Structure 1
Amino acid sequence: MKKLLLSIVITISILFSHETNAQGCVAIRQFSGIGNAVGQGNLLEQGEWNISANYRYFKSFRHFSGTEEHPHRVENNTEVINWSHGLDLNLSYAITDRAYLIASIPYAYNERSSLYEHGRNSRHMTYSKGIADMRVGAGYWLLSGEKAKNGNTAVGLGLKLPTGDYNAQGTFYNVGPGGSPEIRPVDQSIQLGDGGWGFIVDAQGIWNLPKSFFLYYDGFYMFNPRNTNGTQTNRARASEAIMSVPDQFAFRTGLFKPISFVHGMGLSLGGRVEGVPVRDLIGESDGFRRPGYIVSVEPGVSYMLGNFTTTLTVPVALIRNRTRSLTDIADSTPDNRRHGDAAFADYLVNVNLAWRIPKKVKGVFNNLD
């Protein structure tokens, strides 16, 4: 049982180090499911805490319409390049051995290089940095006691707060009167927030398999009922003049195995899909968005020492699909089928550090006399 619990602790730390980020022009917010802040929360006893920090980086530059890549964009030096750095600080607290609360504060720094946003004559940079959209929530593990000895599943509900700037501004060159620079909102993919209150449904689980393997899974869907947020896009099409406030989703699953000859180390291999839907499930879906999804293979390694666990996961993109938006469909004609593009990354780097704070034992010296 101790071996099982040790393995689960390591595995859970890997599972919830994941982040969904923009990974390019498909504007998946710097955001994770409720499970990310749980860390080792499934093994916390009542009154215990878990603190974790997750850093993530990617560079997006490969353009796709649908699943078709446009390599000429790189060859002709017309590609859009996003560099993204994100840091999430997560805190979870065990109300009981099965119920937990979480809070997550994300910080982001983004750089974007392009030609088309600067008059198409010369390449320039825009930037954004600051607090992104915070999340708070709660979860509950469905099984207890003997029923949970071979695995468990938790469900969670959360709230995404519009704390990130959704109208971050930057300097755009060669676009004003006489080719002068202008201050405008930066692209949707590097905005720090989306301006909407979001509602999150989350699930996660892990199950013991033969030969010390473990099956893991976790996923979320975030409902964003707000239609548009009022931020100008400066795009040519009137239907895309204002930024949309889109839903988003992610799901991961795979296998984890402790390494017997290196105490505290484990390896994982799984897959993940994440993206932005064409239409929201609740509310209208007007304005500009780049819908799409990314399917990745996700290897990972973790190491646990005492109450500290560090993990590294590197999702590598297998399928990148910029789906047709509602404005693409509405503005198409039989002779002109519109299908916008988006830039995607080849891979994403996640580094996570989690610290489980055990509950102080009361009366530990009571029997010394």
Structure 2
Amino acid sequence: MILKQPNFLIAILILALSSNPTNLRAQGCVAIRHFSSCVGNSLENNLLEKGDLLVGMNYRYFKSFRHFRGTEEEADRVASSTEVINHSHAWDFFLTYGISDRLYTSITIPTVINTRSSLYEHGREERNSTFSRGLADIRAGLGYWLMDPISNPNGNIAVGLGIKLPTGNYNATDIFYNVGPEGSPEVRPVDQSIQPGDGGFGLTMDFQFYQKVAAGLFAYGGGFYLLNPRETNGIRTFRETLSPILENEAIMAVPDQYSVRTGLSYSWSGAISTSLGGRFDAVPVKDLIGGNEGFRRPGNVLSIEPGVAYYSHNLTLNLNVPIAVRRDRPQSVTDRQTEISTGNPRNGDAAFADYLINFGISYRFPKNKAMEIAPSIKNTFN
């Protein structure tokens, strides 16, 4: 970066420590099954000069097991050991390039390993697990800072547009027990929540901002919306085998997703920063474009998100742990259809996590080798 612009460098340093490369995620088997904005969600990652290159990886883990119907938890599921348990591990490998001081492009290559343990999917007689792994849906896009970052070091906003490619397997299968003829095992598609991909081409729109509040203190935020025009992907759920009233949930939907977050970040030194914010992640009941048939688990999670990060030269390490404070599994379109046809109330349930772990690492390769932040600028934080 240009060393004669210390305020801009200070903004970059704080934002580096307050953001996570791919952390706009939801929790549990409901919302945003391994996805983030196509152009990256870290403000620091997108504050690049022309020719700068940034590479990194983000790891995410959660365990979903608490069942909700609406906003009410069904605590008896855990007490009776009938809960569904998902373990999700995901690694995003990303690359961001500064086309100019304001325009940037990014590509993210995600991989996943998922396991799902349940009773109801295995004849309700014994608990068994299903498994999926591999490449997920690749994302790529462009972003643009609306104001010149050099002349506006204390605040800025960026907008982005990207695509999601159906590169992940959306028909991953495994063995299900006690469900075939005479109770034999049978190979079936794994649950929608652990499929590596969703089978649809998607379009994302996103925004992100930062604003200096006081010395060392910045407000930050951002969000994205994923449009998935495809209605269903043709993969059978086998839910109709559980009950005749679930016939309308026999095929998997390809739902939209969205997420927003905001918070404050404070730099305690030239290398350490902490942040605290809120976030809201969701799969909506209905898509903005396309139909709404097929099986989906709409849901949303409101979380408190503390974070801590370390910055040294061009290396950034950060850890964010969103903690759920409100979880909601609203009535889906198929729930409503069943309620109307049967005359009985219907609202499906879903499992959510208590918290989520995001750990990110990134390294910047500046085109200008003189980018090293001067000690005098670092001392501004002391």
**Fold match (TM-score > 0.5):** yes
Pair 1:155–1:272, CA change in 2 (3 A): same
Instruction: Please give the root-mean-square deviation of Cα atoms over the aligned residues, in Å.
Output: 1.7
Q: Which residue of 1 aligns with 2:264?
A: 255
Pair 1:90–1:278, CA change in 2 (3 A): same
Matched residues in 1 for 2:211 and 2:296: separation?
Answer: 37
Q: Which residue of 2 aligns with 1:60?
A: 64
User: In structure 2, what residue type is equivalent to 1:88?
Assistant: D
1:240 CA displacement: 0.3
Q: Deviations over 1:116-162 (max 9, x none)?
A: 00000000000000000000000000001665122110000000000
User: In structure 2, what residue type is equivalent to 1:332?
Assistant: E
Gap regions ≥5 residues in structure 1: 363-369
1:15 CA displacement: 2.2
1:16 CA displacement: 3.6
5 Å matches for 1:41-60?
41-60=45-64
Q: Which residue of 2 aligns with 1:206?
A: 210
Paired residues of 1:60 and 1:345 also in contact (CA < 8 A)? yes
Matched residues in 2 for 1:360 and 1:145: separation?
Answer: 17
Q: Report the 3-state secondary structure (helix = DSSP H, G, I; strand = E; otherwise coil) of the residue aligned with 1:226.
A: coil
1:195 CA displacement: 0.3
Pick from 125, 136, 141: which aligns with 2:140? 136
Matched residues in 1 for 2:18 and 2:150: separation?
Answer: 25
User: In structure 2, what residue type is equivalent to 1:57?
Assistant: Y
5 Å matches for 1:1-369?
2=6, 5-12=9-16, 14-21=18-25, 23-36=27-40, 40-144=44-148, 147-236=151-240, 237-260=246-269, 263-333=270-340, 335-360=343-368
Q: Which residue of 1 aligns with 2:378?
A: none
Pair 1:354–1:193, CA change in 2 (3 A): same
User: In structure 1, what residue type is equivalent to 2:187?
Assistant: I
Q: Report the 3-state secondary structure (helix = DSSP H, G, I; strand = E; otherwise coil) of the residue aligned with 2:40.
A: helix
Q: Report the 3-state secondary structure (helix = DSSP H, G, I; strand = E; otherwise coil) of the residue aligned with 1:351.
A: strand
1:36 CA displacement: 2.5
Paired residues of 2:31 and 2:299 also in contact (CA < 8 A)? no
Matched residues in 1 for 2:258 and 2:48: separation?
Answer: 27
1:7 CA displacement: 4.3
User: In structure 2, what residue type is equivalent to 1:253?
Assistant: T
Q: Report the 3-state secondary structure (helix = DSSP H, G, I; strand = E; otherwise coil) of the residue aligned with 1:155.
A: strand
Residues matched between the structures, number: 360
Q: TM-score, normalised by structure 1?
A: 0.94
1:24 CA displacement: 1.9
1:6 CA displacement: 3.0
Percent of residue pairs bearing the same amino acid type? 53
Q: Which residue of 2 aligns with 1:366?
A: none
Matched residues in 2 for 1:266 and 1:348: separation?
Answer: 20
Gap regions ≥5 residues in structure 2: 241-245, 371-382
User: In structure 1, what residue type is equivalent to 2:252?
Assistant: M
